[in-house]
Amino acid sequence: MKLRNTAITRANSACLPMGDRVGAKCDSVSEGEERKGGHDIPKVSMVPLVFLIFYEVSGGPFGIEDSVKAAGPLLAIVGFLLFALIWSIPEALITAEMGTMFPENGGYVVWVSSALGPFWGFQQGWAKWLSGVIDNALYPVLFLDYVKSSVPALGGGLPRTLAVLILTVALTYMNYRGLTIVGWVAVFLGVFSLLPFFCDGIDCYSSD
């Protein structure tokens, strides 16, 4: 109950400037977020949003070869389905619940801060940032591990190091430019990464 009351208080004050929150009410949180400084806030359309969520969750069936090799295709698929039921669906429901309770930017930092105080909210934000840095550092390397089968020069040495740096700088620049370009790049990469699987499926179907 305390957490829900805190959420209602924060929602009522989210659309007001810092100096106007005392003794004031607002009808809608989104009303204050529609414009910032007289300019429309860029919004992400449905298709880029879907692909951004796709990459946030998995990004495709890459890096699972060891699981399939160790357990076989059937057990690997069953394991992924069980993981979705045990972990992914509860996490999605929790996110939907907390997101509606706290309709403002900040995510789990806001949730933890409201429940446990700003110190632990800061720790949550710091831990997530650190895990993001470590996690995102894997993707250029993983990408080059797939590409090196076609371009052996990227398997090691100076060419691989330069390729990792170029990919890192390019991805950092796209994130700096904003969510819109990141969303459409996610759409392109999603189609590009999933296209071989569709082609293989069509080829197997036509061969039968």
The pLDDT of residue 127 is: 93
Q: Give the lowest-confidence range in 32-36, 110-114, 181-185, 192-196.
A: 32-36
Beta strand 35-36 with 39-40 is antiparallel
153-166 as b/e: b if 16+ CB within 10 A: ebeeeeebeebbee
Helix (H, G, I), strand (E, B) or coil at 35: strand
The pLDDT of residue 10 is: 53
pLDDT tens track for 37-74:
445 666 777 888 888 877 777 766 666 778 888 888 88
In the chain, the amino acid numbered 169 is: V
Tell me: pLDDT of 11 over 60.
Answer: no
Helix (H) or strand (E) holding 39: strand 39-40
Listed by start position, the domains of the chain span 1-18+27-38
Tell me: pLDDT of 36 over 60.
Answer: no
pLDDT tens track for 69-91:
888 888 988 988 898 899 888 98
Q: CA–CA separation, 200 vs 202, rounded Å?
A: 5
